[in-house]
Amino acid sequence: MIALLQNKQWIRLFTLALLCVCFVGCKPKSEVDRTLAIDAKKKEIVFVTHNGPTTYYLNNDNQPAGIEYDLATQFVNDYYPDYKIRFVIVNSISDVIPSLLKGKAHIAAASLSVTHLREHLVLFSTPYQETQQQLIFNNEINKEPDNISDIIGKTLAVPEGTSYEEHLAVLQKKNNALKWQSIKRTNTESLIEEVADGLLDYTIADSHLAALMQNYHPNLSIAMPIGPADKIAWAMSKNSDRQMLANINKFFEKIKNDGTLRNLLDRYYGHNKRLNSSDITTFLERSNSLLPKYVHLFKQAQDITGIDWRLLAAVSYRESHWDTYNTSPTNVRGLMMLTEGTADLMGVTDRLDPKQSIPAGAKYLLKLIDTVPERIPEPDRTYMALASYNIGYAHVEDARVLAKRLKLNPDSWADIKKTLVLLKNPDYYTTLKYGYASGGAPVIFVESVRSYQRILEKHQPSHNPEFDAFKIARN
């Protein structure tokens, strides 16, 4: 014990755990119980979370998004339909549980890993996701370490108050020389950016966030897993309403069984591993060299169709790599790789002319979106339209029919991905109206487009036609 306590990280973790136990066990009940009660008159459910791509953020329309936001919103709609929902956004994950214990929220929904230390403080719900902590490094600067001993002497940093600290403390038992920095008021995404920029040798991230960030930085690599897999769950104060906790557990059980959770996880993370580092490097290079020639045309196409120009640009890149003279062996041509039939349908006389092909491709995609049943929610409706752009709507409809036969959800892209790939199997395609199709191709197409769009959204500003018109009028 003396040897362990010589390390600052161990001292801090040990002290925190001791204080937590003493706080809960020794304080008078009046001082401990700061739980935010459910106010029947106010009719409000409060969640505490923090900003991040795996929790809560504002999307391109300046609207709340993120898997925790979606889950929380659906939970309140399902179990407390007469209540409003409010989010308390804290600066970092280390502030989440303290805010909960101070009575600032009913529920913590912040991509929290279930750990032994945290279980002394809060009640966890049924876990809804499993993730693996991974060591992240810059492959242009450092070689891949074979084991923990190889990172001794290098700079390793993690956000303070994360479960990463607990796993590192366990590893330190086997290697006393292991050191790391616990950084206050930061998040994992920021530290990953520092690794990508060469300012930090290593950090640790959950596998779904690591995969997401690799889409933005091709020089990031994963070295090794850190500790066993973690389970992600919501948390509540130990003095909170047990009926609400029971409702949360029922909610997660329901959305696991009906496919809603699978669909949400696919929506936010399903495309993350589609691109390799070479794909991303080439895309980023061409975003700087070729894309500027056509940005105004993609934005004009957005004005015509209402489809985000970055989605249109992503489709174009996946089809032609922004090579206006691109022609396939089957005579599909141009920036949007239009077939002769599609070009005729959309009134295009020269498929190699970007001024014709880009708006035509955008209007054709809009036509496909309108063809997909309106009851299918976004973004699944657009994903199915994108698959139709690649393989034709008839085969997508076959995949939906097959999904229904297999007791999957025909309105969920996460399930349609599974049945599209079955269209090359004679056991299935011979029973369907439109027969054989290479169904893996549209899945790869859609997931790649999603990844390219996400990268553009990070690096390219959205297009607001009303604001642009205002600027023109002022000038």
Distance CA 109, CA 127 (A): 11
The set of residues, in sequence order, having a beta carbon less than 8 Å from that of 118 and lying 6+ positions away, is 97, 112, 124, 163, 235
Please tell me which residue in 319, 397, 447, 457 is annotated as part of the active site: 319
The torsion angles phi and psi of 378, rounded to 5 degrees, stand at: -80, 150
Strands (E), 157-287: 157-159, 181-183, 202-206, 220-225, 230-237
Tell me if residue 319 is catalytic.
yes
Burial class (CB in 10 A: 0-12, 13-18, 19+), 136: buried
Amino acid sitting at position 177: A
Distance CA 227, CA 198 (A): 25
The count of residues in the chain is 475
Tell me the pairing of strands 122-124 and 230-237.
antiparallel
Task: Tell me if 233 sits within 8 A of 107, measured CB to CB.
Answer: no
Distance CA 423, CA 435 (A): 7
The torsion angles phi and psi of 111, rounded to 5 degrees, stand at: 55, 45
The torsion angles phi and psi of 136, rounded to 5 degrees, stand at: -110, 135
Distance CA 384, CA 411 (A): 9
Distance CA 466, CA 475 (A): 14
CB 466: neighbour CB atoms within 10 A?
7
Write out the catalytic residue numbers. Answer: 319
